[in-house]
Structure 1
Amino acid sequence: MPDHPPFSATPGVLSRRQTVLALSAAALAPLLLSACQSKSEPDANQSTPQAAAKPDPLAIDWEALNQAVGQYPANSPFLAQPAIVERLTKLLGQANYAQAQLNLQVASPLSVEGSVFYITGNRAHEGGINAVAIGLDEASNTIRVWLLQNSQAHVFAEPGANFAWPRDVQTMIGNSQS
């Protein structure tokens, strides 16, 4: 390998090799410096960062529900939130979930009373026979469903869902018992 003089034969002009070496050194310098810096031990008084928690797939998007208040389920898919669908299906079972959906043919808009978001509905022309009320309580993060099938009332509730039914739902339940 021929010897290359340390400097270019022309003053002020770098050879190709010198240019490559200079650029390589400039690119590697920050990496080398960061590798050489000492790592300090974490301070016992400081908490170590935890891995970011994965979002709960069963967490209801309460903000989306809040924005959907006053809207009908046909115009806003608030009941189609994956967490709500999964929790209702688990609570009701497939058959009762399907019945609840049928009982929302004629539905009220999404309403809220206190911390309870709710919707009521019935099958067309079968209000006193097949109806449903779904309550979602933000305070307890629970769901409760009143399902009227062929004039037989059933209540399904997640553990801890002991919130009071909103007035409109109480009225609906009372009217079905008359």
Structure 2
Amino acid sequence: MNWIRQRLESFSERTAFIEDSSDFSYADLINRIDKLKERVSKEVQTAPSIIGFSFARLSDNLAAILAIAELKQVAHPISTELAKAERQEQLSIASTQWIIATTSLERTPNELPHKLVNQLTPKNDAGLILFSSGTSGAPKAMLHDLNALLGRYESVRPRNDR
């Protein structure tokens, strides 16, 4: 997924986000991605590992997804609005092994990822786990091949009117 980084780098100082009345450039986003990659790669040595995160700011969540994707791991975004019991249930269902905290990376008791996650390994692809309540109301995990999901946008050319 080098094409995503190359595209972000080509926009460099252009505004990527406006959050809390502050502008953040694409260079700022790349900096956040690199810092998260450094933190995660120090601890997580095996792929695929499932890495959860829950940040209040959208830009931090996007940086986490892209950092985890560049490391060929599996991203598990967790809503900040989940009750503690629901959060624990999601972590268990997804077999999330690591949680990115504000200043550290925390290990969970989950040892092995679900066998479906291992299907990403031969392709050397990153993954994304999302949850849905489905029709029963019980949480259901959906595993996506993140390379395939984002690869659809590789040929989309940037608009010139922005």
Compare the two structures and name the one with the higher helix fraction: 2
Q: Shorter chain as normaliser: what TM range?
A: under 0.3
TM-score, normalised to structure 1's length? 0.25
Give the number of the structure with larger relative contact order, counting CA–CA contacts within 8 Å between residues 6 or more apart. 2
TM-score, normalised to structure 2's length? 0.26
